[in-house]
Amino acid sequence: MDRLPESLAALTFLAPLDRALAQLLASEANAGPRVQLLAALTSRALASGHVCLELERLFSDPDSLFTGADDASDSPEKAPQPPSAQLAPWFAGQTPASLAAALAAETLCVGDGNATTPLVLDGLRLYLLRNWRMEQALAQAVAGRLAAGTADIPATLPAQLATLFAGNTQDPDWQRLAVALATRAPLQVITGGPGTGKTTTVLRLLALLQENALYADDGRALQIRLAAPTGKAAARLSESIRKGIAQLPTSDLVKRHIPDRVSTLHRLLGAQAGTRRFRHHAQNPLPADVVVVDEASMIDLDLAHSLFMALAPNTRLILLGDKDQLASVEAGAVLAELCREASTGAYSPATLAWLAQATGQHIPQPYHGQGSPLAQQTVMLRESRRFASDSGIGQLATAVNANDPETALRLLEAGSEDIAQLALAPGAGELAGLLTGSQGSYRAFLLTLAQPPATACWAAGELTTEWAAWLKALLLRFDDCRVLCALRQGPWGVSGLNTRIAAWLQDAGLLTLPAQAHNQWYAGRPVLVLANDYGLNLMNGDIGITVALPAPEGNGVVLRVAFPEDSDTGVRLVSPARLANVDTAWAMTVHKSQGSEFGHAILLLPDRDSPVLTRELIYTGITRAKSRFTLAGPQLALLPQLIARATRRSSGLGAQLDRLWKTP
């Protein structure tokens, strides 16, 4: 193995798993030093969110390839050299093409996908075999859903659309266009920022599809399944649909057949505990006529592959999400890849003519083109109804998304009713004051916690109505405010902030912490579920509140964690002893906040730059706010360079689709 073990050890950004893969290839396939290194780098790129290792990017911008989920170093002095500096000696005098040629010669380790080699070289992209196969299968599934062409326009469609969108005066009405397009193929992608009406649009689509089914000759209602990647996102979609059904301009019969129950995507597919397998797959497809998946930006390659494999060819799939949000925690940026042409539209003459006949709408010339088949089934909703035109939050999100740091800084410096910035000293006393103050803080939540009902808590072993209502109100109150962090570790990361916030709340007389430092459970502790627990029916991202309740039998109190639940009481109680994989949630990462909204979102920037601080992270943090946003941190001057840094995950999904469609 020449000098590689020592050299690999010197690459500080590699993890033990990366080195183990390299050593396995050396012992089992006699891999030389170069292949061992590139295998380790491919593994590290995967852990950093990339589906593959792009050889061109390895030479042009290696530091953007090897960013982990966090930056654990507490001080600049401890920070190691960047990957570019550590890798420079390895690749001196080489090019991506020469590296690819050398890899292609290592036939025991590297193949083209036809043989079972651990690595696959596809052009200038290097994959682990499993990821290459998943990407190929996903591309084929996407293309296959669009291969049959488009359906004719039903005679009733123009009138149905006119009824469903009678109140919409926009021209073009992108919501109406999205619903029309979704009727003609078994795949539709609807993207747009917060408040652009994605849920409203899909509700009208479901009403139209269900109306056509119920009033057909056989009168069979469509089986519609709704899902989201996390429990929190599922709960939000369920609430939105429940509220929206009553407003639909359709019959009561149709309304009764539009479901409002939303499951997590893992539960929909039938996740099997302890494995990566699902109950539903190509040989046992999901029994559904229509599947709607919200917050699709959170779906990684692995889960997207499982979703598409689990659908029958005639099942209609609707993907909803904001393509500009943070990508999934795991590898891939599937929604962003599927929405490559969404901003420009690229609608073909045939699509434009079809839409004009079906909707009476005419899409402006800037959105004309000769886009891919997928572009013809993708609609970007472009007008936010959540934020008024003079909304600070809306303007700030737009400026960040448009890579306009000057406007973003001007808005923050000027301030408004709904946006502010807060410079923090090392002790962060300013943040303590904000979180314990009278508005947009944790005070109202903790005051609600301190005022439980005076009536009996239990009746026949069940929570009484009054106590269930109090717990539901408590869960809602907790969403009044949230601190969002870019990092997990360090003084400005989640782990450090959660400890400090709890102490600040105790100092303000709002919270009582246990006297024993090792006891982490206390009344008022919010907890975030970190992994799916099918035994408890709790999903990654679910949030619960620890409460002290009168013991069901006898005297004293017991601690229980209250989680929201779609049931008669609306809440479920779990013993803390059963919650092994949770974290305190006064502060949470921006990644974990996806699919949630908070009255006041406080985005905390750390004291120095990190590769994980990107435009998408800032945009996602801003758009978690419903009514108030604060940017806080000790180094707010970092903001312009963060806005300029866009996330680009390495993937070949778009290239695979282009290859299948033979488009340039």
Q: Helix, strand, or coil here: 227?
A: strand
Among all chains, which residue has been given the structure tokens 């919650």? 579
Q: Give the separation between CA 608 and CA 613, rounded to whole angstroms.
A: 10
Contact status, residue 294 vs residue 237, Cβ threshold 8 Å? yes
| Token duo for residue 487 | 């990092």
| Token duo for residue 138 | 């996903």
In Å, how far are 322, 376, 407, 566, 629 from 335, measured between CA atoms? 8, 15, 28, 28, 26
Among all chains, which residue has been given the structure tokens 């080195």? 19
Q: Are strands 290-293 and 316-321 parallel, antiparallel or unpaired?
A: parallel
Among all chains, which residue has been given the structure tokens 């792009």? 54
Residues making up the binding site for ATP: 192-199
The CA angle 357-361-367, to the nearest 5 degrees, is 110
Of 342, 329, 322, give the one whose Cα is nearest residue 597. Answer: 322
Eight-class DSSP state of 552: S
Question: Residues 246, 252, 258, 261: is their CA dihedral positive or negative?
Answer: positive
Contact status, residue 445 vs residue 511, Cβ threshold 8 Å? no
* Burial group, residue 402, by CB count within 10 angstroms (0-12, 13-18, 19+): middle
Question: Residues 317, 323, 325, 327: is their CA dihedral positive or negative?
Answer: positive
Residues making up the binding site: 192-199
Q: Are strands 262-264 and 290-293 parallel, antiparallel or unpaired?
A: unpaired
Among all chains, which residue has been given the structure tokens 């005419």? 362
For 403-410, the CB contacts below 8 A with 24+ separation are 403/615, 403/643, 403/644, 403/646, 404/643, 405/639, 405/640, 405/643, 405/644, 408/639, 408/640, 408/643, 409/639, 409/640
SS (H, E, C) 278-337: ECCECCECCCCCEEEECCHHHCCHHHHHHHHHCCCCCCEEEEEECCCCCCCCCCCCHHHH
Q: Are strands 458-459 and 462-463 parallel, antiparallel or unpaired?
A: antiparallel
Residue by residue, DSSP assigns 135-196 as HHHHHHHHHHHTTT--PPPPTTHHHHHHHHTTT---SS-HHHHHHHHHTSSSEEEEEE-TTS
Of 185, 194, 374, 380, give the one whose Cα is nearest residue 295. Answer: 194
Q: H or E stretch including 628? A: strand 625-633
- Report the half-sphere exposure of 32 (CA within 13 A, side-chain side): 8
Q: Give the separation between CA 531 and CA 539, rounded to whole angstroms.
A: 6
- Maximal C-alpha separation, the chain: 78
CA–centroid distance for 360 within its chain:
35
Quickly count: other Cβ atoms within 10 Å of residue 125's Cβ.
23
State yes or no: cis peptide before 33, omega within 30 of 0.
Answer: no
Q: Give the separation between CA 598 and CA 600, rounded to whole angstroms.
A: 5
